[in-house]
Amino acid sequence: MFNGSICALITPFKNGEIDDDAFQSLVDWQITQGTSGLVPVGTTGESPTLSHGEHKRVVDMCIEATAGRVPVIAGTGSNSTEEAIMLTRHAKEAGADAALVVCPYYNKPTQEGLYEHYRAVHDAAELPVIIYNIPGRSGVDMSVATMARLSNLPNIIGVKDATRDLSRPLETRLAIGPDFCQLSGEDATVVAFLAQGGHGCISVTCNVAPALCAQLHQAWREGQMHTVQRLRDRLMPLHDALFLESSPGPVKYAVHILGRCSPEIRLPLVQPREDIKAKIREAITLVDMA
């Protein structure tokens, strides 16, 4: 079971190319700060603009730098089932612990199409698969009924839920059971998600404040609700600031402020506006991550 604060890693660039040293340094920093797991080449890692070779190399580097200290859940989703299978097979061969497979975007499959897509990925690669349900980006919402049907396949083990529907984790737990891993995809609602039966969060904010995110989840597990509430409130300005424009532009800029990578981002995304940058700097000061 994956749980706790899991980082949806950015992919640092330098002069248009992947900055290998900065990426592997970020991986090590995340682990030493208490992060429970790592997700390379998800949406936050700019997977849509990476070539297949770059995508595979980032997964390889993450696994190498992690050296077995925490689980690696490789982003392997695509709106092409064949491409998702290829990337998932690579993740398996590279030594990833699981694959994060997004609901196919743009082509808007039916619920039956979603089932067949995930079944094909499941059958082609012997690797645990986490469904990534994010209707706001993919344009399709997997129903609880379809997810329950998929959970009967032995390697469909959980969901990253970015629906922002806080009834969903409870409905999913009642339909599938408590062992189906439920990870939030929304930093701002993570405490409520945990209270509804969730197990952790695949977090954007963790890129910037890994220790505080890890401490929140630890406090939750230990039943220290005053600490949970204090950390929830302390992190909220950062959650807000990191989504003032399309992610990962703001989070990359925030990590740049911390001196850990360039703020470079690939088109069609661009650097945050100057007024947004000011708000990000202000949020980092307010959170006080020291």
Planar angle of CA 72, 191, 160, nearest 5 degrees: 35
Structure tokens of 59?
Answer: 């997964």
Cβ-contact 117, 168 below 8 angstroms: no
Paired tokens of 36:
């429970």
CA-nearest of 61, 51, 87, 68 to 9 is: 61
d(CA 104, CA 108): 7
From the candidates 56, 92, 105, 160, give the one annotated as an active-site residue.
160
Distance CA 279, CA 54 (A): 32
CA 174 to chain centre: 24
Beta partners for residue 39, in sequence order: 8
Angle between the N-to-C axes of helices 210-221 and 225-241, in degrees from 0 to 180, rounded to the nearest 10: 150
Closest-CA residue to 57 (of 124, 117, 12, 103): 12
Name the active-site residue from 132, 252, 253, 277: 132
Q: Look up 160 and say whether it is catalytic.
A: yes
Respond yes or no: is residue 132 known to be catalytic: yes
Backbone conformation region of residue 139, classed left if phi is above 0, alpha if psi is from -120 to 50, else beta: left
Tell me the residue type at 98. A
CA distance 23 to 12: 6
Residue-wise DSSP of 19-68 = -HHHHHHHHHHHHHTT--EEETTSTTTTGGGS-HHHHHHHHHHHHHHHTT
Query: Hey, what are 87's tokens?
Result: 């990337």
**Catalytic site residues?**
132, 160
